[in-house]
């Protein structure tokens, strides 16, 4: 048993794992799994489940077991993949069907305490690194640089929303949230997303004023952007076009913003300055019988369906976004190709010079690796750990001395 520190084990969890299933199962391959349920949360047996992906193209189907669970195996792992799943009941209908995915929930770690001094339980490598850090930083601070200074080059790029009905043209807006940013928001509602991501987006309170001889007049809550009322346009359709006066305008709009999620949308464009809102002023005045819109800001929303505010969520569908597949970072070792090194460039005080995780031996059990030492002659400690095909662990520690060749 490999343990460290004071650890307590509840033996019933060890000998009876079925009573408390393992939270994070070992991953031997890339899979997609979940459960098909009805409106009451009950499992649906023998439900047909389809999975579809366009990049790369994947189309598979399977049936759920008696517990309503399904699983797709042997999927090729790709970065930032999006899969669409479709489930039907025993009769092949999408009515009264839902999908609950087995999504990975990251563990919650408690914040580390900094009460313990840095020198308690510190090893010699850490102490050596701490003692030389100040000298390294001082040398870098005194480094004046060398070579020829190049002229500054400013690169400007506009975010383009595909299929947008922006009256100003592609990428012409004060603020733009593109599909890449929306993917990170996952299933966040548009209402939550706008409050979190748009600068100046707030909900104003009630405004009450006294009318002489007629009592009070109250203006209801409204979405505003930098003190301007907001008009929402979804796929080129003004959301106010279908507003009948009931309920209050804020709640009417909020119903739509809470209905759509970030994964239903491919882009959001904000048009608040006169440069980008003028065309909307003219267009809205024509449809609103000449009402002035000069104090309005506009938010153009492009949905995935391109059907405006009429998008209907299909029962039994789920847009699943997997955790990105990434390769581990490689340990960086300087190549020392600079011939005329300055004091700062030659000050190499790294505590760890080389780390290589996957060294495979040949048929004779031998392996070779190489690395650059630091510039100062010194003694180095080498730690080697490994295991064979039968799981037997090996460990070795030895010292080498690096000297200046004469």
Handedness of CA 10, 11, 12, 16 (dihedral sign): positive
Q: Residue 89 has what pLDDT? A: 84
Domain ranges of the chain: 25-101, 118-143+327-406, 175-313
* 10-residue averages of pLDDT along the chain (406 residues): 59 71 77 88 89 82 92 81 84 83 78 66 69 74 72 83 89 89 84 88 65 59 84 88 77 85 89 88 62 74 83 71 72 64 57 84 89 79 88 89 78
Percent of the chain's residues with pLDDT above 70: 78
Tens of pLDDT, residues 300-353: 999 887 878 875 556 788 878 777 666 777 777 766 655 555 544 556 667 788
Nearest to 191 by CA among 272, 260, 266: 260
Among 153, 169, 149, smallest CA distance to 161 is for: 169
Q: For residue range 86-122, what is the model confidence (pLDDT) as tens digits?
A: 898 888 887 788 888 887 777 777 776 666 666 666 6
Contact between residue 200 and residue 225 where contact means Cβ atoms under 8 Å apart: yes
The CATH classification of domain 118-143+327-406, taken from the options 2.60.120.10, 3.55.50.30, 3.40.50.720, 2.20.130.20: 2.20.130.20
Q: State if pTM tops 0.85.
A: no
Mean pLDDT of the residues in the chain: 79
Q: What is the pLDDT of residue 144?
A: 67
Q: Which fold has domain 175-313?
A: Ferric Hydroxamate Uptake Protein; Chain A, domain 1 (2.170.130)
Q: Does CATH number 2.60.40 belong to domain 25-101? A: yes
């Amino acid at each position: 048993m490999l343990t460290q520190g004071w650890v307590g084990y509840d033996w019933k969890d060890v000998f009876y794992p079925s009573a408390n299933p393992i939270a994070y199962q070992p991953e031997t391959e890339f899979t997609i799994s979940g459960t098909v349920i009805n409106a009451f949360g009950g499992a649906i047996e023998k439900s047909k489940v389809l999975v579809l992906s366009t990049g790369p193209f994947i189309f598979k189907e399977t049936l759920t077991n008696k517990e309503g669970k399904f699983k797709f195996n042997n999927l090729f792992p790709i970065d930032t993949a999006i899969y669409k799943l479709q489930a039907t009941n025993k009769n092949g209908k999408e009515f009264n069907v839902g999908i609950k995915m087995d999504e990975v929930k990251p563990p919650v770690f408690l914040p580390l305490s900094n009460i313990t001094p840095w020198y308690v339980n510190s090893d010699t490598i850490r102490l050596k690194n701490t003692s030389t850090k100040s000298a390294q930083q001082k040398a870098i601070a005194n480094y004046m640089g060398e070579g020829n200074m190049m002229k500054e080059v400013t690169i400007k790029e506009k975010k383009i929303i595909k299929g947008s009905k922006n009256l100003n043209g592609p990428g012409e807006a004060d603020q733009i949230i593109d599909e890449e940013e929306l993917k990170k928001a996952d299933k966040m509602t548009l209402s939550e997303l706008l409050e979190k991501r748009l600068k100046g987006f707030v909900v104003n309170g009630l405004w009450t004023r006294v009318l002489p001889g007629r009592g009070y007049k109250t203006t209801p809550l409204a979405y505003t952007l930098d003190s301007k009322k907001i008009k929402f346009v979804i796929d080129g359709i003004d959301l106010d076009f279908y507003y009948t006066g009931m309920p209050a305008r804020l709640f009417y709009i909020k119903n739509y913003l809470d209905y759509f999620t970030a994964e239903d949308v491919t882009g959001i464009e904000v048009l608040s300055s006169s440069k980008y809102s003028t065309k909307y002023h003219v267009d809205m005045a024509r449809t609103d019988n000449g009402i002035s819109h000069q104090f309005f800001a506009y938010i153009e929303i492009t949905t995935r369906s391109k059907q405006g505010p009429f998008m209907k969520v299909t029962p039994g569908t789920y847009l699943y976004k997997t955790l990105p597949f990434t390769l581990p970072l490689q340990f960086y070792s300087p190549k020392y190709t600079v011939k005329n090194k300055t004091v700062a460039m030659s000050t190499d005080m790294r505590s760890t010079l080389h780390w290589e995780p996957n060294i495979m031996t040949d048929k004779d059990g031998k392996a070779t690796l190489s690395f650059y030492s630091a510039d100062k002659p010194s003694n180095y400690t080498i730690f080697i750990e490994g295991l064979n095909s039968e799981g037997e662990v090996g460990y070795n520690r030895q010292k080498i001395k690096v000297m200046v060749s004469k």
